[in-house]
Amino acid sequence: MGRLFGTDGVRGVANADLTAELALGLSVAAAHVLAEAGTFEGHRPKAVVGRDPRASGEFLEAAVVAGLASAGVDVLRVGVLPTPAVAHLTGALGADLGVMLSASHNAMPDNGIKFFARGGHKLADELEDRIESVYEEHRTGAPWQRPTGSGVGRVSSYDQGLDQYIAHLLGVLPNRLDGLKIVLDEAHGAAARVSPEAFARAGADVITIGAQPDGLNINDGCGSTHLDLLKAAVVEHGADFGIAHDGDADRCLAVDGAGEEVDGDQILAVLALAMREHGTLRGDTVVATVMSNLGFKLAMEEQGLALVQTAVGDRYVLESMKEHGYALGGEQSGHVIVLDHATTGDGTLTGLLLAARVAETGRTLADLAGVMKRLPQVLINVPDVDKSRVKTSAELSAAVTEAERELGSTGRVLLRPSGTEPLVRVMVEAADIEQARSVASRLADVVKSALG
């Protein structure tokens, strides 16, 4: 069996890869593993369970709740909320475990399970590995030890979660957003109620699109993976800028007043300078991944800020931040972590802080984002290949070496197996967009032939 847990929990096509039986079994295994680790010692265990609006989340939530309760864990169902809200509530309510059902930016047929440890932090790799092995042991034979009578978990709905989370977000804002007109694209996802409410309460004039989730339309042509609707809406309404979330709202991308994209690197750059000015950017350091644009690295150097780069995945950014005490980190895709106020990427918080900076300075978003110049970057996803052989293929290695020689010091190449999908990402940066396209296309062809 391949590893169930990827870089962001367990993910797959709902009811095919990710079944009710798997969701139930993993939840029981998680309860047993955390009990073994002493997490539940001396008290009755409690879990927070939330989901995004996907139709499959309804039956998967039922399976997770049943699994946890059958293992003796009391469950608070918080309903449809963003991933960072579930993480926040796990900490705020003193729960031993949080569970979020979402496939984030993936298409509607997919779903996923993400576990949070006490405090709302992502589970350590070794705990995920242990959950997987315990699940597999019991799936193939050994019966679970199950509580009976009053030992079974009790299940209740926790309806205050949305207001509690919004209050937390507003409590973090350094200033109000009065006078700003902002378009929000909620991707028909988990933040459809939270985000517009938070921005409106902060004083912004809010226009929403993609805020009518029906269980089937999440991420469908909208949100942070499809910015065209937001770009058009910002221009049409004469808005100051727009904010786009993904399905579970742990990401935030933006669009300036002219309808131009402001990506995660640029958002990080704007927030880094704001935090330094306010004295909250510890060590004058930002953490980002190797996927960050070279222009971001150059901008940070120019501003006298240090940049620490990690492997791709917000969990690795977070690990580095926690280990060294850094306050800000994130990814080009729009996962931004402000560690003093969130334990995971929080798209609504990021958007609010970005808007607060615009309001505070009186400058346009385009002007603020201009602190960095993006070098042309081409990303090609190559599907249906054996991503496990990326590092061992001699043919691919030779092609990458040749590409790097051609680009010299003005560009770079990055090949990365996706942590959540069966594909390999080919990323090429160069001073010239045509050269970047040419090199990326050539490498994508080699990936197909060498790993297909």
Residues assigned a catalytic role: 104
Q: Was 246 annotated as part of a binding site? A: yes
Q: Contacts for 384-388 with beta carbons within 8 Å, 24 or more apart? A: 384/422, 384/423, 384/452, 385/422, 385/423, 385/424, 385/447, 385/448, 385/451, 385/452, 386/451, 386/452, 387/417, 387/418, 387/422, 387/423, 387/424, 387/451, 388/417
Q: Was 17 annotated as part of a binding site? A: no
Tokens 């955390």 correspond to 34
Q: Phi and psi at residue 207, in whole multiples of 5°?
A: -120, 130
Q: Was 284 annotated as part of a binding site? A: no
Q: Was 104 annotated as part of a binding site? A: yes
Q: What residue type is assigned to position 442 of the chain?
A: R
Residue 392: CB partners within 8 Å, gap ≥ 6?
Answer: none
Tokens 């249906």 correspond to 384
Are 104 and 315 within 8 A, CB to CB? no
d(CA 304, CA 277): 13
Backbone Cα Rg of the chain: 22
Are 412 and 443 within 8 A, CB to CB? no
Query: Which tokens is 27 given?
Result: 């939840």
Tokens 């937001």 correspond to 230
Are 67 and 27 within 8 A, CB to CB? yes
Are 437 and 446 within 8 A, CB to CB? no
Would you tell me how many other CB atoms lie within 10 Å of the CB of residue 36? 12
DSSP at 123: P
Residues annotated in a binding site: 104, 246, 248, 250
Residues annotated in a binding site for Mg(2+): 104, 246, 248, 250
